[in-house]
Amino acid sequence: MNNAVLKTQFNLEGVSLFRRGKVRDVYDLGEFLLIVSTDRLSAFDVIMNEPIPDKGKMLTSLSKFWFNHLGSVAPNHYVGTDIIERYPVFRQVSSLVDGRSMIVKKAKVIPFECIVRGYLMGSAYREYLKSGTIFGDKAPENLKKGYKFDEPIFTPSTKAEEGHDENISFELMKSSIGSLAETLKSYSLKLFEEATNYAITKGIVIADTKFEFGIIDDEIIVIDEIFTPDSSRFILKEDYDNGFVDKSMDKEFVRNYLSSIKWNKEPPAPTIPEEIINKTQSRYREITKMIIGN
């Protein structure tokens, strides 16, 4: 665990802490922000005590790849990863920023998470088992876990600074932010389509994902991270084709462990065994290599 970064606190001239999220530490650079992806792990909206070593570097590498790859589909906040070249003051803490940080534009955050689901899994599957509906809509009987929807569905949720996010209807989202909701839905579905088309060529099924958006000068942009194992559900196509829909290559592996020990999903977080940490790290590393090639 010696190479893991749980928290950063820079005492550098011209640099101040902007906010500390569940996984990322954000610093104010004046014109831009610096996002440092730590190795903290959040599950069920609770931060675990144990880190996943190098997770932040993998999240940063994947987000950088996807922001560049999908920039023509929707504008985003990514500026660059050449932190020390732009801001030499960070040379003093290069071991904490190299590979796990990106410079981004400042944006006003839209307080919703935009979730797109291509397959019947997660909370959608749990609702289906309980009531026969998928986010309130009556669904056909006898659908299996991992069923592929005819078209991906958009299911927004609230974005809580503390506590749990809550799934809401698209209509409720529209009543809160008006026509802006239609743009968020359109961007989310287009991004999901482009990313899933690319991922399948790499042998990966993206079952679902979430996006966050912000506004700069009346322009809606993608912020935070995209298509990482923290924000998406990945399944190897070979596993999916063979019916192994539970063998995900993402944070769901940790969630499954936490569910198996009957944790109540409230703080304090339980201890994560080293075996689970190592297997989670291996999953993140394999997906990163498959998507970006190194």
What percent of the chain stands above pLDDT 90? Answer: 93
- For residue 181, what pLDDT is reported? 97
Kindly report, residue by residue over 81-109, the tens digit of the pLDDT. 999 999 999 999 999 999 999 999 999 99
Return the pLDDT at 76.
98
Say if residue 163's pLDDT is above 90.
no
Q: Which CATH number fits domain 16-106: 3.40.50.720, 2.40.70.10, 3.30.200.20, 2.40.30.20?
A: 3.30.200.20
Model-level pTM? 0.95
So what's the pLDDT on residue 3? 80
The answer to whether residue 1 scores a pLDDT higher than 90 is no
Give the CATH fold of the 109-269+284-292 domain: D-amino Acid Aminotransferase; Chain A, domain 1 (3.30.470)
What residue segments make up the domains of the chain, in order of their start? 16-106, 109-269+284-292
Tell me how many degrees the CA angle 225-230-234 measures, rounded to the nearest 5: 110
Residue 269 to residue 50: CA distance in whole angstroms: 10
pLDDT greater than 70 at residue 2: no
Strand 108-109 and strand 42-43: pairing? unpaired
Instruction: State the average pLDDT over residues 111-140.
Output: 94
Question: Count of CB atoms within 10 A of residue 138's CB?
Answer: 9
Per residue in 206-265, pLDDT (tens digit) is: 999 999 999 999 999 999 999 999 999 999 999 999 999 999 999 999 999 999 999 999
